[in-house]
Amino acid sequence: MDAYLNLDHVSIDFPTANGAFRALDNVNLKINKGEFVSIIGHSGCGKSTVMNIVGGLYQATEGGVVLQGKEVNEPGPDRAIVFQNHALFPWLTCYQNVELAVKSVSGHRRNRKQIREWVEHNLELVHMMHAKDKLPSEISGGMKQRVGIARALSMEPKVLLMDEPFGALDALTRAHLQDSLMEIQSELNNTVIMITHDVDEAVLLSDKIVMMTNGPAATIGEILEVNLPRPRKRLELADDQQYNHYRSEVIHFLHERHARKVA
């Protein structure tokens, strides 16, 4: 039985001034439906590149990505992306940003009323209805990221891709958003790939943590299954033995076995 999403022997070369640069080498990853997978690794190892290949923004040089038995090699709303710096259109309000996505993805099968309801439903999901008519420049970074998530969810993607979605936020805001994300996840049970730098975030949210080796020619070093019961509560987990065990696994991988050679 094939996995829902399958990265099959994915390698990529970037053309540079002095020859091809092999960023990823032979990445193999199988993800099941409804799984929440984090990718963690040092800066520059190729996490974003993996995600961009799944998202179809980059083309793998060798190997490929198979989603539900079909190879994907161009971007599409079935693999919605939440960008690190939100990527909201600054001239559209929060509502209009989500609306643009809804209209272009499912405008053909929804009438006007249904479109409005669906946009508002997704904004409610991320608790942003109160600011729906504000421009991105008028709301905080955390709020922007919420709207970015609402926009991605509104596409009803098969896989939700998030590239360090909370990387630019302060710790408290980040915790809030992580809780929101877990709440949404328990309701929708999406298949998610999230890139992160944050060990706690990875353990708290994921079913699987994919740890990447350093580049060049980076690949997957280890995969850690996180078998913590849901719903997870950050306060209770703080003293949980199992949780701290997973945490130290990741830390050991990152800072012992694959410590970065140059800072």
Ligand X SMILES: Nc1ncnc2c1ncn2[C@@H]1O[C@H](COP(=O)(O)OP(=O)(O)OP(=O)(O)O)[C@@H](O)[C@H]1O
Q: Are 213 and 220 in contact (CB under 8 A)?
A: yes
Cβ proximity to ligand X, 59 vs 242, nearer residue = 59
Token digits of residue 172: 């408290």
**122 lies in the site for Mg ion, by CB under 5 A:** no
Residues in region 181-220 near ligand X by CB under 6 A: 215
Q: What angle do CA 139, 143, 149 make, to 5 degrees?
A: 135
Give 126's contacts (C-beta < 8 A, 6+ positions apart): 146, 147, 149, 150, 153, 180, 184
CB of 7 to ligand X, least distance (A): 14
Q: Which stretch binds ligand X (CB under 6 A): 30-38, 46-54, 69-77, 100-108?
A: 46-54
CB of 161 to ligand X, least distance (A): 12
**190 lies in the site for Mg ion, by CB under 5 A:** no
Q: What angle do CA 74, 76, 77 make, to 5 degrees?
A: 165
CB of 23 to other proteins, least distance (A): 17
**155 lies in the site for other proteins, by CB under 8 A:** yes
The CA-to-CA distance between both ends of the chain, in Å, stands at 43
In the shown chain, the binding pattern of residues 87 to 106 toward other proteins, with x for contact by CB under 8 A and - for none, equals: x-xxx--------xx--xx-
Here the contacts of 180-187 (C-beta below 8 Å, separation 24 or greater) are: 180/126, 180/127, 180/146, 181/149, 181/205, 182/230, 182/231, 182/232, 184/125, 184/126, 184/149, 184/153, 185/36, 186/230, 186/231, 187/125
In the shown chain, the binding pattern of residues 41 to 80 toward Mg ion, with x for contact by CB under 5 A and - for none, equals: -------x--------------------------------
Q: Which stretch binds other proteins (CB under 8 A): 5-13, 31-39, 79-87, 204-212?
A: 79-87
For ligand X, the binding residue among 6, 38, 49, 213 (CB under 6 A) is 49
For ligand X, the binding residue among 5, 10, 45, 143 (CB under 6 A) is 45
**55 lies in the site for ligand X, by CB under 6 A:** no
Token digits of residue 110: 């929804």
Token digits of residue 243: 């949780």
Site residues (vs ligand X, CB under 6 A): 14, 21, 23, 41, 43-49, 215
